[in-house]
Structure 1
Amino acid sequence: MPVKQCRTFPRVLGAVLLVAAAGISSVGATAPAAAPAPAAAPRPLGQIVPAPASVAPRGAPYAITAATRIRVDEDSRESRAIGDYLAGVLRPSTGHPLPVVDEDKGRGGILLRLSPRDRALGEEGYRLTSGPGGITLTAQRPAGLFRGVQTLRQQLPAAVEADTVRPGPWTVAGGTITDTPRFAYRGAMLDVSRHFFTVDEVKRYIDQLALYKINKLHLHLSDDQGWRIAIDSWPRLATYGGSTEVGGGPGGHYTKDDYKEIVRYAASRYQEVVPEIDMPGHTNAALASYAELNCDGVAPPLYTGTAVGFSSLCVPKPVTYDFVDDVIRELAALTPGKYLHIGGDEAHSTTHEDYVAFMDRVQPVVAKYGKTVIGWHQLTGARPAEGALAQYWGLDRSSGAEKEQVAAAARAGTKVILSPADRAYLDMKYTKDTKLGLSWAGYVEVQRSYDWNPATLLPGLPESGIAGVEAPLWTETVSESAHIDHMAFPRLPGIAELGWSPAASHDWAAYRERLAQQGPRFEALGIGFYRSPQVPWR
């Protein structure tokens, strides 16, 4: 039965009517009144994804009713905005008014409280306390309140995600959850270059990421097949370089206002946008747009295939660095976040000497405009700038020398984002029968995607050298939101858990049970997920 229908009420009502009818026909008298159906037990505290750091069940639950208010700090605009967000999630399914009021307006209900003195909670931690008198969410910072709201949301029945009224009850188990993330960087990448996705489609993905406490949205904005962001000083990048995609579709690009709206919306979900301009390779869309960026001064045709490694900016030409400076300057001005990703992978058409020289010139440009460099892990074969992050996408079968190069860079101060392709790439096929996706890194079923430890992935890489994890979704075969759903879910929540939850909580057998409970929530949210046979879906 679809999750958007009540799973127990129609059955109980039908049984009562049958019993009553049988009593009337057999004895000619009114049947005894049926006992009321017992209220559904609340979800056990902490049975969510990602698993919380500390769970202490205790006492009776709290029930959200028509009398419930959401109380917020009157002096905090962020607290009120988070309260409005929570009310927006709960009102359609509960049918309750759930007014958002100042903290001092009454008692009980759901209290969102910012407590700067709770320093142990850090930037994103929170404490949720639930009991018959109400629920209190406490955080040091607004991001922590928002993460706590996602926990509260998952503690409620999956039908809370419905967009029409459901019967409830809406109860949250009693006790306390105290929760902080394992890693500060927990990302998801969406490749909008191989196939273009609209602002609304990106927003939909942002909302999905928010439920699992992802805090970075990495947008792959340029590649051989398409340039997706307007640059005023080089307008043909978007108008011509963005005019196609894999397979020859119409492509598209974001205006500066479009990009600002994505950044704004992500910030409202406490996600930081990390824009990527891949270089010196993966640049055919730019080379096709401006002939002078090519060493021979001849623009190649636009490209709609999927092969990699054939394109490169002309490293010796001065105009290359005018181009890079202009692009980074304009993109940095649009991006309030800390990071700017400069790619650097699969530059097979660039000599090692040219690659090192290029990175030596480009990394200071990023710093000049107030951003911190991120590059794919090939950056560690050059000279990473101070504070730069390297994003590792290698495989278990990658050479020991490559792994040691990355680990050595980390020991020297370059922190690493872990995105192993045979674990974390959401575009890999689940099995040989998966219709979408690629398989060059192997088949990546749900258990394989989840069952690895970031701290032991690379020999010699200390956990202190790990910035976090990220789940990239490349889009050679992914061209619509339904495809994103199928490839990201249910693997994305597992990568999110690796980034958030303490290492001690890592256990496939327990996780698969908690993941199974997410199935009805996916359905209620309209997420067309892959029903892996490895998971005992409800």
Structure 2
Amino acid sequence: MRLHTARRSALPRALPRLLGSLLLIGAAGVSTACAAPTASAAGSEAAVLAPRPLGQLVPVPASVRPGGSPYSLNDGTRIRVDGSSGEARRIGEYLAGVLRPSTGYALPVTTKDGTDGIRLRLGSRDSKLGAEGYTLTSGRGSVTITARKPAGLFHGVQTLRQLLPARIESDSRQKGPWSVAGGSVTDAPRYGYRGAMLDVSRHFFSVTEVKRYIDQLALYKINTFHLHLSDDQGWRIAIDSWPKLATYGGSTEVGGGTGGYYTKSQYKEIVNYAASRYLEVVPEIDMPSHTNAALASYAELNCDGVAPPLYTGIEVGFSSLCAGKDVTYDFIDDVLGEVAALTPGRYLHIGGDEAHSTSHEDYAKIMNRAQATVGKYGKTVMGWHQITGATPVKGAVAQYWGYDKTSAADRQQVVDAAKNGTRLVMSPADRVYLDMKYNDQTVLGLKWAGLVEVQRSYDWDPGTYLAGAPADAVLGVEAPIWAETLTDSDDIDAMAFPRLPGAAELGWSPAATHDWDTYKLRLAALGPRFTAMGIDYYRSPQVPWPAESASAG
């Protein structure tokens, strides 16, 4: 996943901010001026108060038909949900929790039918919507969101949030009006896999910080959350059969901090929280390399029986499980079995990248045994694209993180596997690795894959990026964020935003809609929303941010 040898420098920490509630409520509102407005100021205010155009969304919807009168929330608005669906009720309560702090309205959630208010409906007969699509219709009396399945209803709610003024995301009462433009949206995703990865191994992130990121992902209709749970610098999940993995292997991180790990209860809490936002968790246990934390915890896992010291640097590829020991396969079985039992999702990710100190024969032996173990526990194998150097099992998913400097031979190996049935998730490092520096002045991040400004991150197509790979082999796109230099939520915000919404759009929106010149305008309109949510994002000069959010950052 990472090719670098840079040393980690001391990093200034961002100013502390309130994280707000776990319902994606930000810490700061949009201020209003006190002086009498000039003509130009009045025009600007009118523009701010006007409903957001239906098509000014990220991800951009598949179909938009503007027209008719806007809908306005007021102190009598009710959220009406299907009485037969507990999930519809829960989504309604979620929406109310987002809207109440900023509006000050009661917004009761009711199963009583009516033609007014915000109406959430399940049971659409439009098969084109699939499991995640929705329709949204707005008029003078109501906003109605209809879907076939709860996930689609939830995604429609995220669209409604973006159609409301940015200050809706504030955690304190704000001035209205709260209007939604008239018209209709019909929307469904291009890809079924739209992911983001968080590296909690190089630096540990608390449950609260992880939940905050999940909430941010949900707003952009991302449906998969990949957790990188083990690496050389730290082991982050409790394993009953190998307890020192967490208690010792999890006791440090890059730079020598105290690290940490998730108890099984905490991991379940993360999984359940993600599920409540319709994200599937993909846990990763990296092997055969990126295993120093495990090797340091148990000497018997080393070929020479000697445990190495804990590691706090950022070099890669030096560690390896021992292919010739039976205990290695006991370890793999125990760990994957326990993680599988905690994870209701379809996938187990077994890493497989940067095994520079492992022979090809040993690599293939370990990865093929691990794949069989994943199948034994009823899960689908995922691995970094180097897994194609072993023998991918039927249905395996290879996550392609190659970039412009990836060799033709490596690319062809992945293409050949895709032609033979291996499915692909696209994560090119020089496009959607969110820890890559924006420019040479970026304090955080690394640049081994190059500098990745916002346009470069957006301006590519997952379906055609890997020349020769069948388009139907591509399941979707994932944006990883590695944590060599990131230590808290502020750091995640600075590197993920504003690039993350673009990755989400590449996964959701039709390929024909991908256009930088129109996207940058829609992205610019998100600036005040980032601010209202307490996100101190990178103000890229490539994006025409509105004046209220154009200060240096």
Provide the TM-score with structure 1 as the length reference: 0.94
The separation in 1 between residues aligned to 2:127 and 2:46, in whole angstroms, is 45
- How large is the Cα RMSD of the aligned pairs? 1.5
Tell me what 2:21 maps to. Answer: none
Select the structure of larger CA radius of gyration: 1
Tell me what 1:61 maps to. Answer: 70
Asked if structure 2 preserves the Cα contact closer than 8 Å seen for 1:66 and 1:96, the reply is yes
The separation in 2 between residues aligned to 1:211 and 1:433, in whole angstroms, is 29
Is the counterpart of residue 148 in structure 1 residue 173 in structure 2? no
Is the counterpart of residue 42 in structure 1 residue 48 in structure 2? no
Tell me what 2:357 maps to. Answer: 349
SS of 1:452 mapped into structure 2:
coil
Is the counterpart of residue 139 in structure 1 residue 158 in structure 2? no
Is the counterpart of residue 82 in structure 1 residue 82 in structure 2? no
Is the counterpart of residue 93 in structure 1 residue 102 in structure 2? yes
The separation in 2 between residues aligned to 1:51 and 1:102, in whole angstroms, is 31
Tell me what 1:4 maps to. Answer: 29
The separation in 1 between residues aligned to 2:29 and 2:35, in whole angstroms, is 15
1:103 CA displacement: 4.2
Is the counterpart of residue 71 in structure 1 residue 80 in structure 2? yes
CA shift digits 1:177-230 (9 cap, x unpaired): 000001100100000000000000000000111111111110000000000000
Q: Which runs of 5+ in 2 are unaligned?
A: 1-26, 40-44, 547-553
SS of 1:188 mapped into structure 2:
strand
Query: Which amino acid in the other structure matches residue 74 of structure 1?
Result: G
The separation in 2 between residues aligned to 1:472 and 1:285, in whole angstroms, is 21
Tell me what 1:227 maps to. Answer: 235
Query: Which amino acid in the other structure matches residue 416 of structure 1?
Result: L
Paired-residue identity, %: 69
CA shift digits 1:369-427 (9 cap, x unpaired): 11111000001111111111000001122112211211121121111000000001001
The separation in 2 between residues aligned to 1:411 and 1:73, in whole angstroms, is 45
Tell me what 1:504 maps to. Answer: 512
Asked if structure 1 preserves the Cα contact closer than 8 Å seen for 2:444 and 2:486, the reply is yes
Asked if structure 1 preserves the Cα contact closer than 8 Å seen for 2:124 and 2:146, the reply is no
> Which residue of 111, 120, 132 maps to 1:102?
111
Tell me what 2:386 maps to. Answer: 378
1:39 CA displacement: 8.8
Q: How many residues align?
A: 515
Query: Which amino acid in the other structure matches residue 134 of structure 2?
Result: Y
Tell me what 2:7 maps to. Answer: none
Shift of the 58–309 alpha-carbon distance from structure 1 to 2, 3 Å rule, reads same
CA shift digits 1:31-67 (9 cap, x unpaired): xxxxx98992211112010000100111111111111
Asked if structure 1 preserves the Cα contact closer than 8 Å seen for 2:65 and 2:185, the reply is yes
The separation in 2 between residues aligned to 1:185 and 1:39, in whole angstroms, is 35
Asked if structure 1 preserves the Cα contact closer than 8 Å seen for 2:30 and 2:532, the reply is no
CA shift digits 1:220-274 (9 cap, x unpaired): 0000000000000000000000000001000000000010000011011110110
Tell me what 1:177 maps to. Answer: 185
Query: Which amino acid in the other structure matches residue 116 of structure 2?
Result: G
Tell me what 2:407 maps to. Answer: 399
The separation in 2 between residues aligned to 1:184 and 1:84, in whole angstroms, is 26
Provide the TM-score with structure 2 as the length reference: 0.91
The separation in 1 between residues aligned to 2:49 and 2:441, in whole angstroms, is 38
CA shift digits 1:1-46 (9 cap, x unpaired): x9724546x345x679xxxxxxxxxxxxxxxxxxx98992211112
Query: Which amino acid in the other structure matches residue 305 of structure 1?
Result: G
The separation in 2 between residues aligned to 1:320 and 1:303, in whole angstroms, is 20
Is the counterpart of residue 260 in structure 1 residue 285 in structure 2? no
Asked if structure 2 preserves the Cα contact closer than 8 Å seen for 1:156 and 1:170, the reply is yes
Matches within 5 A, 1:483-498: 483-498=491-506
CA shift digits 1:60-97 (9 cap, x unpaired): 11111111110001010100000000001111111111
Tell me what 1:303 maps to. Answer: 311
The separation in 2 between residues aligned to 1:345 and 1:183, in whole angstroms, is 25
Query: Which amino acid in the other structure matches residue 518 of structure 2?
Result: A
The separation in 1 between residues aligned to 2:30 and 2:259, in whole angstroms, is 39
Tell me what 1:23 maps to. Answer: none
CA shift digits 1:97-144 (9 cap, x unpaired): 11000142x321111000153322111100000111211100000000
Tell me what 2:375 maps to. Answer: 367
RCO higher in 1 or 2 (8 Å CA, sep ≥ 6)? 2
Query: Which amino acid in the other structure matches residue 80 of structure 1?
Result: R
Is the counterpart of residue 321 in structure 1 residue 329 in structure 2? yes
Asked if structure 2 preserves the Cα contact closer than 8 Å seen for 1:381 and 1:405, the reply is yes
